[in-house]
């Protein structure tokens, strides 16, 4: 399943526990989109979805830095 692969890649990239990675991913817009059949994201590769998640995470971090 793509979801398990994505979570494993997040764990490896960010050195998180599986529980942290699951929470972070499924609370993200990317995770919500993966769960929504209408987006078609479920048909994309885990690496592509991970890329979207990383971009989203970077945008959030940049917005937070701009506010501070």
Q: How many domains does the chain have?
A: 1
Report the pLDDT value the prediction gives residue 15, as an integer from 0 to 100: 97
Range of the domain at 63: 2-67
Mean pLDDT of 36-63: 92
Q: What is the mean pLDDT of residues 57-66?
A: 84
Q: How confident is the model at residue 61 (pLDDT cuts 50, 70, 90)?
A: confident
Percent of the chain with pLDDT over 90: 74
Residue 1 banded pLDDT, cuts 50, 70, 90: low
Does residue 63 carry a pLDDT above 90? no
Rounded to 10 deg, the angle between the 46-67 and 2-14 helix axes is: 50
Break the chain down into helix, strand, coil percent, rounded to 5.
Answer: 85, 0, 15
Q: Residue 68 in 3-state DSSP?
A: coil
């Amino acid at each position: 399943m793509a979801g398990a692969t994505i979570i494993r890649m997040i764990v490896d990239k960010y050195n998180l526990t599986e529980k942290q990675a699951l929470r972070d991913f499924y609370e993200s817009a990317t995770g919500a989109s993966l769960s929504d059949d209408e987006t078609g994201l479920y048909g994309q590769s885990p690496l592509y979805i991970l890329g979207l998640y990383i971009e989203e995470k970077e945008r959030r971090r940049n917005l937070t830095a701009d506010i501070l």
